[in-house]
Amino acid sequence: MEYFLYTVACLLLLSVLAFIIAEVKAHKGNAAGEKDYLLILGCRVKGSEAEETLRMRCEKAAEYLKEHTGTVAIGCGGIVHADQSISEAQAIEEILISKGIEKERIIREDKSTTTVENFKNAKKIIGNSKASLALLSSDFHLMRARLIAKKAGLICETVSAPSPENELIKNYIREFFALIIFIVGGK
């Protein structure tokens, strides 16, 4: 009986993981045309240095912003860890400026420590419920991020940033459990 339950649990885990990966692939970069705002979700910063995942998000954001010159970026993320000396939003701003994006086109949302808070705080910045939005995050994170944005009352098209290949399995497994927690707990 134990073996059967273990097998069922593993099959369920693999099925949900396959669903998440399929969902992610279906929503890669579907933001069409100019948007009022591009919400860029933050990620790990150590000291004052953005880790690779955040740098990859910012590179994709810079590409998008260069193609859509009327779009304003909102860099989301506060100081989440004790070893950070700058917020995720500040790291996003610094990278975007280094990639040629004008400072005037970047707004910092630097108070949040979770994805849920990212959207609550960004919604306060946006104010206008009729603003068109694009959401940029890593491919593995977009499904849950879209669900959280929708729950916060924000309808976003997505822009998918690639992820470091050496962290892909870890990120999808982490995201699987985060999605389960979000669905069960609503957070």
Q: Nearest 5°: phi and psi at 29? A: 55, 45
The residue written with tokens 């000291």 in the block is: 47
Distance of CA 160 to the CA centre of its chain: 9
Mapped onto helix, strand or coil, the DSSP state of residue 110 is: coil
Strand partners, 107: 74
Interatomic CA distance for residues 137 and 123, integer angstroms: 17
Give the start-to-end residue ranges of the domains of the chain.
Answer: 12-185
Name the more confident of 11 and 158. 158
Cα separation, 111 vs 88, in Å, equals 10
> To the nearest whole number, what is the mean pLDDT of the chain?
87
Q: Where are the beta strands (DSSP E) in the chain?
A: 37-41, 45-46, 49-50, 72-76, 106-109, 133-138, 156-161
Residue labelled with tokens 């870890």? 170
Residue 50's φ and ψ, nearest 5 degrees, are: -70, 135
| Strand 49-50 to 45-46 pairing | antiparallel
Residues in the chain: 187
For residue 123, pLDDT over 90 is answered with: yes
Question: What's the CATH code, domain 12-185?
Answer: 3.40.50.620
The pLDDT score that the predictor gives to residue 163 is: 87
**What Rg do the C-alpha atoms of the chain give, in angstroms?**
17
Q: Strand pairing partners for 37? A: 72, 133
**Residues 40-81: tens digit of each pLDDT:** 999 999 999 999 999 999 999 999 999 999 999 999 999 999
Q: Give the residue, 164 or 137, on which the prediction is more confident.
A: 137
Model confidence, pTM: 0.83
pLDDT at 27 over 60: no
Bridge-partner residues for 159, per DSSP? Answer: 136
